[in-house]
Amino acid sequence: VFAHIVQAPEDPILGVTVAYNKDPSPIKLNLGVGAYRTEEGKPLVLNVVRKAEQILVNDRSRVKEYLPITGLGEFNKLSAKLIFGAESPAIRENRITTVQCLSGTGSLRVGGEFLARHYHQRTIYIPQPTWGNHIKVFQLAGLSVKYYRYYDPKTRGLDFQGMLEDLSSAPSGAIILLHACAHNPTGVDPTLEQWEQIRKLMRSKALLPFFDSAYQGFASGSLDGDAQPIRMFVSDGGECFAAQSYAKNMGLYGERVGALSIVCKSSDVASRVESQLKLVIRPMYSNPPVHGPSIVATVLKDRDLYNEWTLELKAMADRIISMRQQLFDALRARGTPGDWSHIIKQIGMFTFTGLNKEQVAFMTREYHIYMTSDGRISMAGLSSRTVPHLADAINAAVTR
Ligand code: LMR
């Protein structure tokens, strides 16, 4: 009965790792998935995470009972504080419901399904380009997906005019997906002044902001700084959605730990919204896992661990920034044609190189360098040792 089933294509991002794993070459390099690597090219478990896990293991009172449908309460509270700020009036006024979800993806999906069931507008506008999974997540949640202009390939920067025009012509009430910081895949973010214009325009048209915050702490190295755009929207008193992930900033990729927050107009509305979120979650996966959020809560609630985390986070962000400089310098040293300054200007884990599909394929074939076909490279996967290899490959790709 399954003989008719055709082979599905690999995922455009996670499939890169599948191909990389199959390559026997000793010089292979995986710059596909956005996952942090050390200078030695190894995955990193943060010291604070090890410490938190030790604390959890030593606590014999801990059990393996089910969490509530909405997840670990303490984690939800701390997550809201982290993203909206400890002094946020919306938190004080109990206007936010926060539910633990399966990392950023799960938070987007739960938020999307809630909107498809209860919101009067079923259209979500996402930036062009965006993280490839956004499209599928929201379509399967029951929303219809449209694009707004975001990236200008000519300037390798923000198409701010195009973005404002497209938001202006979106129907009133439409949902707008915004990358809170470190836009994936382009590494191009609006300035705070531009965010303010975006906010004004969106509020004047009653457009609903849905922030995807996957890189808090990775863009500027500051947790508060990277949450600024979201806080601007929340401080005007309007509604706002935020999907939070701890995959990158706490290195908890495989623990699938994140949160969805919905900022409402009153605490009464927030509590009704939460009751409906439970109806979305319960038939989807019943309730979320307990280990990941326990690690996060342990770190966030302890001043010393929290401070240590911010230092480790800053060190990761700084290493990525130094990789940008090293790659830029290496291309300049090779006299590689073109303006590569976007490598140092772009923000976050990725560089959107501007290399085309053929050039990417060439680099994979000849240099065993793996990246997504849109020319995105994960700077976090690079090290001082591998920069020359990548620079040689880019140089060969653009001069062949
Ligand atoms: C990425 O864009 O590489 C990450 O967000 C990982 C993923 O799940 O795609």
Q: What is the pLDDT of residues 157-211, one digit of tens each?
A: 999 999 999 999 999 999 999 999 999 999 999 999 999 999 999 999 999 999 9
Residues whose CB falls within 8 Å of the CB of residue 56, separated by 6 or more in sequence, listed in order? 62, 291, 294, 295, 298
Catalytic residue among 51, 131, 309, 340: 131
* Nearest to 268, CA basis, from 95, 91, 73: 95
pLDDT value of position 191:
97
| 269 CA from centroid of ligand 1 (Å) | 33
* Token pair listed for 113: 């399904």
Per the CB < 8 A criterion, the answer to whether 183 and 131 are in contact is no
How many whole angstroms separate alpha carbon 342 and alpha carbon 347? 9
Tell me the CB-side half-sphere exposure of residue 36, using CA atoms within 13 A. Answer: 26
Å from CA of 18 to ligand 1 middle: 14
Q: Which residues pair with 144 in a beta bridge?
A: 123
CA 131 to centroid of chain Cα atoms: 8
Over 90: is that where the pLDDT of 116 sits?
Answer: yes
Q: Is the CB of 243 under 6 A from ligand 1?
A: no
Contact, 231 vs 90, CB < 8 A?
A: no
Return left, alpha or beta for 103; rule: phi > 0 is left, psi -120 to 50 is alpha, else beta.
left
C-beta of 359 in contact with ligand 1 (< 6 A): no
Q: Of 255, 225, 347, which Cα lies nearest the Cα of 45?
A: 255
Instruction: Determine if ligand 1 sits within 6 Å of the CB of residue 36.
Output: no
What is the C-alpha to C-alpha distance for residues 374 and 371, in angstroms, rounded to an integer? 8
Whether residue 374 lies in the annotated active site: no
Closest by CA position to 306, among listed 178, 314, 202, 328: 314
Residue nearest to atom 5 of ligand 1 (CA): 34
Q: pLDDT at residue 242 above 90?
A: yes
Give the model's pLDDT for residue 95: 98
Q: Is the pLDDT of residue 297 over 90?
A: yes
**Is residue 220 very low, low, confident or very high in pLDDT (cuts 50, 70, 90)?**
confident
Examine the residue annotation and report whether 131 is marked as an active-site residue of this protein.
yes
pLDDT greater than 90 at residue 265: yes
* Ligand 1 atom 4, closest CA: 34
Q: Choose among 289, 277, 229, 290: nearest CA to 83.
A: 229
Q: Which two tokens stand for residue 383?
A: 């090290």
Residue type, 398: V
Helix (H) / strand (E) element for 210: namely strand 208-213
Q: Is 345 a catalytic residue?
A: no
Mean per-residue pLDDT of the chain: 97
**Dist CA 23 CA 17 (whole Å):** 10
DSSP 126-173: EEES--HHHHHHHHHHTPEEEEEE-EETTTTEE-HHHHHHHHHHSPTT
Match 């801990």 to its residue by tokens: 62
Question: Could you tell me how far CA 296 lies from the centroid of its own chain?
Answer: 17
Dist. CA 248 → ligand 1 center (Å): 10
Nearest to 140 by CA among 115, 114, 117, 109: 109
- Region 203-222: mean pLDDT is 95
Find the helix or strand (DSSP H, E) in which 107 lies. helix 103-118
Q: Is 377 in the pocket of ligand 1 (CB under 6 A)?
A: no
| Rg for the chain, CA atoms, rounded | 21
pLDDT greater than 90 at residue 221: no
| Catalytic position from the list 159, 189, 212, 374 | 212
pTM above 0.90, yes or no: yes
Determine the distance separating the centroid of ligand 1 and the alpha carbon of 185, expressed in angstroms.
9
Tell me, in angstroms, the distance from the centre of ligand 1 to residue 31's CA.
11
d(CA 156, CA 148): 16
Average pLDDT for 251-275 = 98
